[in-house]
Structure 1
Amino acid sequence: MYRFYLANMLLPVTPSKLSVKTKNMNKTVTLINEGEVNIIKTKGLREFSFELLLPFDRYSFTTMNRPKKQKSYLDKLNRLKINKKPFQFVVKRPKGFKTNIKVTLEDLSITEDAKEGRDIKVSVTLKEYRHYGTKKVVFVQPTSTVGEQPKQEEKKEEAKVAENRDSSTAQKPKTHIVKRGDTLWGLAKRYYGNGSLYPKIVSANPKIKNPNLIIDGWELVIP
């Protein structure tokens, strides 16, 4: 038997039908000489819709021996609607694939019909939830350094963009093995195009106590 779960809540009666709809985000534009063209974009979010039966009495086809009271299910659905938080939607099938996806509750319609006796029908529409991150931009004014003076055109603000992302996909930092004649100013000039940014290298390498002294053979992290 199929099993439907909304935020770990097992539905008392498995819906007879589940509809899944995916809309494309394509855009149609009209060109002067070419007529209409279709600009293909990433597919939209999936929508899941089904009709749920909340029985007043236990039936032979209910998914549990003692279903909860109708009010308990309605209260749970209303909380999912007003909480403004995504939750897990799971469909377990006796054979075949399993649906397990994070969604939000978009539409909720409750119907009481004399033909259904004391049973209640609920129409539910869910929409796929896709996590997104934010970006933070910080402007850093380069500071003057020991030794070579920076050129006028190098005195520009640098924008550093920090993005929330999964650490498992983050690139590993570059490293540099110190050779004879290397200086922090020279390394910053080489990797950043601006020698005055050498403090970034100092901050990433606690072993550097004196910016004017780096030892041959050191492995430095280049952030």
Structure 2
Amino acid sequence: MQFTLLDLATKKTLILPIPPKLMTVITGTKVLTFEPTVLGEIELPRGRLSNQFTLEGMLPGEDTPIDDRDSELTPDEVVAQFREWEESKRPGGKELRFIVTETDWNEPVFLRNFEPDYSGGYGNVMYTLTLTEQRPFTVKEVKPESSGKKEVRKPKPKPKTHIVKKGDTLWAIAKKYNKKGASWTELWAANKKNLKSGNPNKIYPGEKVVIPAGWLK
């Protein structure tokens, strides 16, 4: 039985020199727990937990008398590879594939934790390795529900133009369109740049006077 990790980006393979002495697999249903005052504790299943693998074992040193090794990697080489994967800047961790021969375990994972212990003799390194199943996810944009009614926007009123006739005055035009003759000063301010005379008391037939939008009803 071989324990292999494959780097999906570089296709580099790491085979543990010897199988771990212990592998724990945590799998099951994700549960949300509530504690209502009256009903007591209620557990509701909400999807599946990602599988988690915890391996405990030894990386044998070169002087350790083990003849049947699955790879010739030294403890330093194995630790260096795990450290490289731990430092990956990829969101969600380095994408790996965990394969255990003679079993059905062949899953995408990321390196959750690697703890080496150099206290062993003969150059041996004891370790604890934790891998978590890497499951794809997508983020969907949630748009607010529509009432089904399309918003009707009223078109902005187009500015109205008054053609000056003989006998017209700004006071009379203001009275006609705004019901207030005294608002002729507003009419003058809006049009004085376009009128021939610089005198508000003199406007000429044929000139165009733009009526302020606020007057239109």
* Length-normalised TM-score, structure 2: 0.55
Residue 71 of structure 1 deviates from its aligned partner by 1.9
1:138–1:32: structure 2 CA closer, same or farther, 3 Å change rule?
closer
Q: Kindly tell me: are residues 56 and 32 of structure 1, through their superposed partners in 2, closer, same or farther at Cα, counting changes over 3 Å?
A: closer
> How far off is 1:127 after superposition?
0.8
Do the aligned partners of 1:14 and 1:62 also contact (CA within 8 Å) in 2? no
Question: What are the ranges of 5 or more consecutive residues in structure 2 without an aligned counterpart?
Answer: 7-12, 153-217
Secondary structure (helix, strand or coil) at the match of 2:73 reads coil
Work out the CA distance in 1 between the residues paired with 2:115 and 2:28.
22
Which of residues 79, 85, 89 in structure 1 aligns to 2:94?
A: 85
Identity %: 19
Q: Find the counterpart in structure 1 of residue 22 from structure 2.
A: 17
2:111 matches 1:112: no
How many equivalent residue pairs? 137
Q: State the one-letter code of the partner of 1:44.
A: L
> Which residue is 1:31 aligned to?
36
* Partner deviation per Cα, 1:167-196 (whole Å, 9 max, x = no partner): xxxxxxxxxxxxxxxxxxxxxxxxxxxxxx
What amino acid sits opposite 1:5 in the alignment?
T
Q: Which aligned runs of 4 or more in structure 1 are off by greater than 4 angstroms?
A: 136-139
How do 1:151-190 and structure 2 match up within 5 A?
153-155=149-151
Q: Residues 88-103 of structure 1 correspond to what in structure 2 (within 5 A)?
A: 88-93=97-102, 97-103=103-109
With 32-41 and 68-77 compared, the bigger mean Cα shift is at 32-41
Q: Please report how far the alpha carbon of residue 27 of structure 1 lies from its aligned counterpart in structure 2 after TM superposition.
A: 2.1
| Other-structure match for 2:4 | 5
1:130-172 deviations in Å (ceiling 9; x for gaps): 1111235789xxxxxxxxxxxxx4347xxxxxxxxxxxxxxxx
Matched, 1:61 2:68: yes
**Paired residue secondary structure (2:94):** coil
More strand by share: 1
Letter in 1 for 2:150: E
2:179 match: none
Aligned to 2:182: none
Instruction: State the TM-score, normalizing by the size of structure 1.
Output: 0.54
Deviations along 1:61-103, one digit per CA (max 9) or x if unpaired, are 3114xx123222111111111112221011001xxx3211011
Task: Kindly name which structure, 1 or 2, has the bigger radius of gyration based on alpha carbons.
Answer: 2
